[in-house]
Structure 1
Amino acid sequence: MEQKTSQKSAGDGGQAAPALRTPTDLRPQATSEVAEALNALLADVYALYLKTKNFHWHMSGPHFRDYHLLLDDQATELFAMTDPLAERIRKLGGKTLRSIGHISRLQRISDNDEEFVEPSRMLSELCDDNRALVSNLRAAHDICDDNKDIATASLIENWIDESEERTWFLFESVRDPDGSGH
């Protein structure tokens, strides 16, 4: 699965305007680095949320109900990550995403605009995307550790666990009857 690389432009992370800067004991460079990592994660989560809803809306086949409900649950879980991510950025005095265009510039999760996707391919693609999200979450956790941002690292640890669970459910849903993966 090809992942988009982050294309940075002015205003993609870092310190907010003085009127929006929240006081923190973290160094300004630390808040910029953490905000930049969290904004990329936020873009990934929005991209994965929309892709999951897309596949939920366009699911078909003999396992329709089970897959439709699974993807709806997973989309709800992804959407629930967005506000805490954005608010954490703001708590650090950073600025966060402002538009769909901003998301598309930062997202590393590829979109799928195909008119029809086989259900097993949908689940397999989402499994890969959730694994990529886990990897991106771990990288952001490392940035938090490097900058002594324990609160953000703690949030990320929970999101890693949730993302690993989504990956597990998707993997088990597309596993071949002989026990091999996709």
Structure 2
Amino acid sequence: MKTANATSSTEPAATSPHGGGQPLLHQKGAETQAFGTLKQVPIGLGHDTRMYACQRLNHVLADTQMLHALYKKHHWLMRGATFYSLHVMLDKHAEAQLAIVDALAERVQSLGGVAVGDPRHAAELTSVPRPPDGVEPVPVMLSRLLDAHERILIDARDAAARISAEGDEGSTDLLVSQVIRTGEAQAWFLAEHLVDTPLVRS
């Protein structure tokens, strides 16, 4: 028998000042910071310098997200006698590019900007051409990766030089030490797989 003051199991629990441990689901609200804007951060760099660096870094970031996606796509679609070695190598390269994506995004945030995070947004900003949805010959897939690397390297070198001239050495160091050096090494590995070398006869 229920007492008069018993609480029905279908009634909502009383709300405590701290939420009572219940997740507050399906929340909506306006953006707190729009893409392309800056908030003030005390890092000793002026607004215009930070704004320019964020714009350039976000473009490299969008391209790098596309390169990472290309690496994963081609990693899955490798075939032929060199399947295993290329399958493993492309996945290793993809992991390195994903680390660069994170480093670039965090740099934009540390400058007070908003990093491009949604892949659909990155696809709107990238200069890396979209591949066909299906499978291409292995040499074509490797060439596509090399083309993406070269686009990023050209842009990253220009961005590094111009950002350095603005006094933002932190962003310059990131572009040179991670984007450029990693990209150059990976492009070298890819290009060597496109050399037509006999395996058993000289």
What's the counterpart of residue 123 of structure 1? Answer: 142
Superposed, 1:137-156 pairs within 5 Å as 137-156=156-175
What's the counterpart of residue 194 of structure 2? Answer: 174
Cα 1:124/1:98, change in 2 over 3 Å: closer
The gaps in structure 2 that reach 5 residues or longer are 1-33
> Partner letter of residue 113 of structure 2?
G
> Partner letter of residue 138 of structure 2?
P
How far apart in 1 are the matches of 2:123 and 2:70?
13
TM-score normalized by the length of structure 2: 0.77
- Shift of residue 166, structure 1, vs aligned partner: 0.6
Contact in 2 for aligned 1:14/1:33 (Cα 8 Å): no
Contact in 2 for aligned 1:12/1:36 (Cα 8 Å): no
Q: Give 1 or 2 for the bigger CA radius of gyration.
A: 2
Superposed, 1:4-153 pairs within 5 Å as 12-16=35-39, 21-153=40-172
The gaps in structure 1 that reach 5 residues or longer are 1-10
> Partner letter of residue 173 of structure 1?
H
- Shift of residue 58, structure 1, vs aligned partner: 0.8
How far apart in 2 are the matches of 1:132 and 1:14?
26
Cα RMSD over matched residues?
1.5
Aligned pairs, how many?
Answer: 164
What's the counterpart of residue 185 of structure 2? Answer: 165
The structure richer in helix per residue is: 1
TM-score normalized by the length of structure 1: 0.85
Contact in 2 for aligned 1:22/1:90 (Cα 8 Å): no
What's the counterpart of residue 28 of structure 2? Answer: none
How far apart in 2 are the matches of 1:175 and 1:120?
10
C-alpha deviations, 1:42-85, integer Å up to 9, x for none?
A: 10010000011000011111110011011001101100101111
Cα 1:14/1:30, change in 2 over 3 Å: farther
What's the counterpart of residue 12 of structure 2? Answer: none
> Partner letter of residue 13 of structure 1?
G
- Shift of residue 12, structure 1, vs aligned partner: 4.8
How far apart in 2 are the matches of 1:78 and 1:23?
29
Contact in 2 for aligned 1:12/1:39 (Cα 8 Å): no
- Shift of residue 101, structure 1, vs aligned partner: 2.3
Moved over 6 A (4+): none
**Greater RCO structure (CA 8 Å; 6+ sep):** 1
